[in-house]
Amino acid sequence: MSKNSPKELLEMAREAKKFAYNPYSKFRVGAALVTKEGRIFTGCNVENVGFTSTICAERTAICKAISEGYRDFVEIAVTSDLEDEIVTPCGVCRQTLSEFGSNIKVYCSKSDLGFEEFTLKELLPRAFENNHLESFQATIKNTSPFSIWQQKKTT
Ligand SMILES: [Zn+2]
């Protein structure tokens, strides 16, 4: 949990929103991500003419945190220029956040910073998580062509 209130985190997200690179959509988003250690990483959306190269504010903040050695996230605040409704993380950002914990608190706000609070699990129920991959790999461990080849090689 951060020492900062959700409102203070949303104010940081609003500051980050000022740096949005959004020549195509004109839609600005800012995010403030809090690590278990209390560090805060902000991010804005960075668009690209090749639209799939665009990165959202949330993932910008996540990449900044990961690249500096932080992987445990507890909160994220998100804001945009939407006046009448809150902005929520897109599906890709929800999946990216879920890699680092399902209990992350997500503060989603309108442009005036009026917000609603969710857990990531509420926003992304039944997420595809690393334990699914581990249990799949356990089931194929002794039957995959590679493991059969390995068994032959060692005997
Ligand atoms: Zn996104």
Judge whether 14 lies within some domain.
Answer: yes
**Which of 126, 75, 64 is CA-nearest to residue 97?**
75
Judge whether 142 lies within some domain.
Answer: no
Judge whether 139 lies within some domain.
Answer: no
CATH classification at residue 80: 3.40.140.10
CA of residue 99 to ligand 1 center, whole Å: 14
Place of tokens 């990165």: 55
> For 99-121, how does the pLDDT look when each residue is reduced to its tens digit (9 = 90+)?
998 899 999 999 999 999 999 99
Grade residue 129 by pLDDT with cuts at 50, 70 and 90. Answer: confident
DSSP code per residue over 47-104: --SSGGG-B-HHHHHHHHHHHTT---EEEEEEEES-SSS-----HHHHHHHHTT-S--
63 carries a ligand binding annotation: no
Greater model confidence, 52 or 143: 52
> For 13-71, how does the pLDDT look when each residue is reduced to its tens digit (9 = 90+)?
999 999 999 999 999 999 999 999 999 999 999 999 999 999 999 999 999 999 999 99
44 carries a ligand binding annotation: no
90 carries a ligand binding annotation: yes
Edge-to-edge strand ranges of the sheet holding 29-35: 40-44, 29-35, 73-80, 105-109, 115-119
Question: 68 φ, ψ to 5°?
Answer: -110, 10
Number of domains in the chain: 1
CA of residue 55 to ligand 1 center, whole Å: 7
List residues with catalytic annotation.
Answer: 58
Judge whether 70 lies within some domain.
Answer: yes
Greater model confidence, 143 or 34: 34
> For 71-91, how does the pLDDT look when each residue is reduced to its tens digit (9 = 90+)?
999 999 999 999 999 999 999
Judge whether 49 lies within some domain.
Answer: yes
Assess whether pLDDT exceeds 70 at residue 150.
Answer: no
Judge whether 76 lies within some domain.
Answer: yes
Residue 65, domain extent? 6-127
Judge whether 144 lies within some domain.
Answer: no
Grade residue 1 by pLDDT with cuts at 50, 70 and 90. Answer: low
Judge whether 47 lies within some domain.
Answer: yes
What pTM did the predictor assign? 0.87
- Distance of CA 105 to CAs 10, 102, 139, Å? 13, 9, 33
Q: What is the pLDDT of residue 154?
A: 66
CA of residue 5 to ligand 1 center, whole Å: 23
